[in-house]
Amino acid sequence: MITVLPDHIANQIAAGEVIQRPASAVKELLENAVDASATAIQLIINDSGKSLVQVVDNGKGMDEQDARLCFGRHATSKISRIEDLFCIQTMGFRGEALASIAAVAQVELRTRTASSDTGFYIEVENSQLVKATPVAAPQGTSVAMKNLFFNVPARRNFLKSNAAEMRHIIDEFTRVALAFPSISFSLHANNQQLFQLESGTLKQRVVQLMGAAYESRLVTVKEETDYLNIRGFVGKPDTARKTRGEQYFFVNNRFIRSAYLHHAIMSAFQGMLAPDHFPLYVLFIDLDPQQIDINVHPTKQEIKFEDEKIVYAFVQAAVKHALAQFSITPTLDFDLDASIQQLSSVQQPFTEDKRSAAADSSIFRSFTKKNQAHLIQPSGFTAYSPDWTASEPASVTATPLLPSEPDEHPLRVTSLLSGYILYPNRDGLWIIDQQAAHERILYEQLQQSSVEQPVPAQRTLFPITLTLPVADAALLQELLPALNLLGFLLEPVGPGSFTIQATPSDSPSGQEKTIIESLLEEYKHFNSDAGYTIREKLIRSLVKQRRIKSGTLLNEKEMRELVVQLLACQQPGQTPDGRPTYVALSSDYLATLFIR
């Protein structure tokens, strides 16, 4: 039997699309304040938004009639006919924000227009009007959302930790604040001021939000065409990070997500970034609203372009032009050492006689013969050349092949290509990737840390102050208990600031700030892996941070120690993420190479 759902249930279902967490309400309320022509907006948070999200603005305000109507579903002043959906100029327009908030929280609204002597107060709970009365109030609107999901405890249980929810709130606050630098914004959390953003230019707002280090590291992007205009900033290549935390696209001042346009940016930076690094960008695309459809998703963060290919081309060209204009291009160093320039082989011409003589040499023939670049034959020696096109013998393996018993001879090792170790043993030959081996060793060492046996730490001689962007500081706050077990002791001393009291005993002195900042970057890289605990993500991040750098040349003692430690591991054959640490060539396979 089909029945019509009661209004309070229908409202809660609708609210699930719009209000998924406290940050969802922050986004909707901030956008409403912007649409009200506010020049100053305050965001007040308690308990990471679970007990209070309040937005206070000095905008136009509402009269009593509008204040009563604004909590109804699809109540909006932004559209009146279907055609309006295709030329949206405002941030909010669906008329569902306040109705959705009122369905899952207790809401108090105070508002007053410039033409009214008194304001109006409304209290709504579970979509029901509880109180409505005139009050004294400043011009503008204050909306306070209290006790989110108080009537839907199952949904409240799915909220993350306070630190995680606060990071989502800061993300939404940052997006709106970036889009409207001419508006002053402030953010207070638990009676502490996190942000005080004065009105100014877009560059000033970017620096306010992301840190003073970007002051001289931003490249201006500005292109104006008949179809669209592009403006904003990209970071110089040296600001690129391993995580996608500082990429912002705005279309007609609305933050959007677009993997397609992100690809356009990455292609413009091609050849300038380290592998797996992402540039900073804050880019605004302004075009005719009729060329886009923003009503394709409840959060309005996904949009459709009428011609996405032309937008892609313009974005790519604009960024390329900006980088070229500021001479941010890869260069080759053609400066040779003076002693090299004086060599006769450099100064004298390479004549035809010399070319012929070189071509007739055995060394030249060895290096130009197909598949024989490795072979330099001694005089009078003929070696067997195996058929390298044949399938590889099964005895070449990347699976663990531990010796059945310790080698009776002292452990012998040799370096290969400044990144690999040759380790002969009674069963054959191992080719060890020293970086991968070090990852396995570090991982198992860190896994052994616990509350009873934390990683040994060394105290700093004097406390070191670490200041981070607020989003990073919120993340670090969440990680402090797990970091303590891993040898890091930090204490919060104010908004965005910590004192470093201790770091792991094997950390180099004087690099404490760099170590923690790079650890946070590594952690954010792992943070998308939902299957890992915080501790596991931190351990894997530390492993990536502290492992031997690729191409490091080790001495014989260091190589022997690395091999001994690898052999002592519980799983010596692979890294934490499953890559092989060594390849084992059996004695039988080595014999087949020489027809034994």
How would you write 176-238 as a 3-class SS string? HHHHCCCCEEEEEECCEEEEEECCCCHHHHHHHHHCHHHCCCEEEEEEECCCEEEEEEEECHH
User: How many residues are there in the chain?
Assistant: 596
pLDDT at 322: 93
Share of the chain above pLDDT 90, in %: 42
The stretch 43-54 carries a mean pLDDT of 96
pLDDT at 299: 53
| Residue-wise pLDDT tens digits, 323-355 | 988 765 443 333 334 443 344 443 455 455 555
Q: How far is Cα 293 from Cα 86, in angstroms, rounded to an integer?
A: 7
pLDDT at 121: 96
Q: Which residue has the higher pLDDT, 270 or 303?
A: 270
Nearest CA-CA partner of 402 in 586, 243, 527, 234: 586
Among the ranges given (98-102, 110-114, 380-384, 476-480), the one the predictor scored with the smallest mean pLDDT: 380-384
Contact present, 537 and 447 (Cβ < 8 Å): no
Question: What's this model's pTM, rounded to 2 decimal places?
Answer: 0.70
pLDDT at 41 over 70: yes
Helix (H, G, I), strand (E, B) or coil at 307: coil
Q: What is the DSSP letter of 50?
A: T
Among the ranges given (74-83, 369-378, 527-536), the one the predictor scored with the smallest mean pLDDT: 369-378
Q: What is the DSSP letter of 252?
A: T
Q: Which residue has the higher pLDDT, 396 or 534?
A: 534
Contact present, 437 and 558 (Cβ < 8 Å): no
Alpha-helical segments (H) within 326-454: 338-341, 344-347, 352-360, 362-368, 434-447
The stretch 199-228 carries a mean pLDDT of 91
Among the ranges given (366-370, 407-411, 430-434, 467-471), the one the predictor scored with the smallest mean pLDDT: 366-370
The stretch 388-394 carries a mean pLDDT of 34
pLDDT at 303: 75
| Residue-wise pLDDT tens digits, 279-295 | 999 999 999 888 887 66
Structure tokens, 467:
């200041």
| Residue-wise pLDDT tens digits, 412-422 | 898 888 899 99
pLDDT at 462 over 70: yes
List of domains in the chain:
7-197 (3.30.565.10), 202-325 (3.30.230.10), 393-596 (3.30.1370.100)
Looking up tokens 């490091």 gives 552
